[in-house]
């Protein structure tokens, strides 16, 4: 009986120890938490007693010193900012533009970005820098040039943004001008100019068509006059006499041998000698 009692006591003691160990492990995991997982597209900034460390944690599972180290996760994936910018052109026209910027944090410099800017870098750096760069570049072009040289304006803004944001370890992936808006007065002036140019082009086309038609008529008249001239040159005394003979022959063919009962006072003369000469 004593042996059974001792064994039961030992089993209870082992079970209690096991429960204590499990509870301790759960306490460490849930409350102390020495593990940290860095997800895809993230980097971990290590803070030791609040001080930013030089090491940046990559994706995966990492250990930290509880109560001593804190891990700040920084997103290094490509992000998009689309701020609105207001500026003035070289000819003092008000320009309202919408900018689309794709950027990402330099992964190896995530600790310095957090140290200098924090995690709210879009509001603190991106938007103000875009505003400043757009104003600087827009002031170099007239309003019309901003429309006709849009690709060059885009390139200038993109290159200047790269230079400004690299100081904050922010990389520019792509940049686009979504829209340019001008004042209603300038927009109306542009539309009026385009309408006038269209009318002028249409009038010029009509004038060209009229000129071509006139030239065609002149050419046709000249051709007809030239043909008439050539015909007159070909009319000779022999041709006239031949036509007279042909007319006489046709008259003889139609004559039935009787003189008309009513005449105008003269009988048509037929040159029989000529007819006989040409029929031999």
Rounded Cα–Cα distance for residues 8 and 3 (Å): 9
| Helices H / strands E in the chain, number of each | 9, 9
**Lowest model confidence (mean pLDDT) among 99-108, 235-244, 254-263:** 254-263
Name the burial class of residue 202, with classes exposed (0-12), middle (13-18) and buried (19+) by CB atoms within 10 angstroms of its CB: exposed
Whether the predicted model's global pTM rises above the 0.75 cut: no
- Give me the mean pLDDT over the 239-252 stretch: 70
Interval 202-237: pLDDT, tens:
767 777 777 888 788 787 877 777 776 666 666 666
Rg (CA), the chain: 52
Order across the sheet with 69-75: list the strands.
51-57, 42-48, 69-75
Q: Report, in this order, helix, strand and coil percent for the chain, each rounded to 5.
A: 60, 20, 20
Superfamily for domain range 79-182: Band 7 domain (3.30.479.30)
Q: 40 in helix, strand or coil?
A: coil
Instruction: Say if CB 129 and CB 161 are below 8 A apart.
Output: yes
Which residues have C-beta within 8 Å of that of residue 145, sequence separation ≥ 6?
90, 153
Interval 89-129: pLDDT, tens:
888 888 888 889 999 999 999 999 999 888 888 888 998 99
């Amino acid at each position: 009986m004593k042996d059974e009692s001792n064994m039961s006591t030992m089993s209870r003691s082992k079970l209690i120890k096991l429960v204590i160990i499990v509870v301790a492990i759960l306490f460490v995991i849930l409350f102390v938490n020495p593990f940290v997982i860095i997800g895809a597209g993230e980097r971990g900034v290590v803070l030791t007693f609040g001080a930013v460390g030089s090491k940046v944690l990559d994706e995966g599972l990492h250990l930290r010193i509880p109560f001593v180290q804190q891990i700040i996760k920084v997103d290094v994936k490509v992000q998009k900012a689309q701020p609105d910018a207001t500026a003035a052109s070289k000819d003092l026209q008000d320009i309202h533009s919408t900018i689309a910027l794709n950027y990402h944090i330099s992964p190896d410099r995530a600790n310095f970005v957090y140290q200098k800017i924090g995690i709210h870098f879009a509001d603190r750096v991106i938007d103000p820098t875009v505003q400043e760069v757009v104003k600087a570049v827009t002031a170099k072009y007239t309003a019309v040039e901003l429309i006709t040289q849009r690709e060059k304006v885009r390139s200038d803004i993109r290159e200047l943004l790269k230079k400004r944001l690299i100081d904050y370890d922010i990389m520019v992936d792509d940049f686009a001008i979504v829209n340019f808006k001008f004042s209603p007065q300038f927009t109306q002036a542009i539309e009026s100019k385009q309408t006038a140019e269209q009318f002028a082009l249409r009038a010029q086309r009509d004038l060209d068509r009229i000129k071509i038609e006139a030239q065609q008529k002149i050419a046709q008249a000249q051709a007809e006059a030239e043909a008439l001239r050539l015909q007159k040159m070909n009319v000779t005394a022999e041709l006239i006499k031949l036509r007279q003979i042909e007319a006489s022959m046709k008259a003889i063919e139609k004559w039935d041998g009787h003189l008309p009962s009513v005449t105008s006072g003269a009988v048509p003369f037929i040159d029989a000698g000529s007819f006989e000469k040409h029929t031999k």
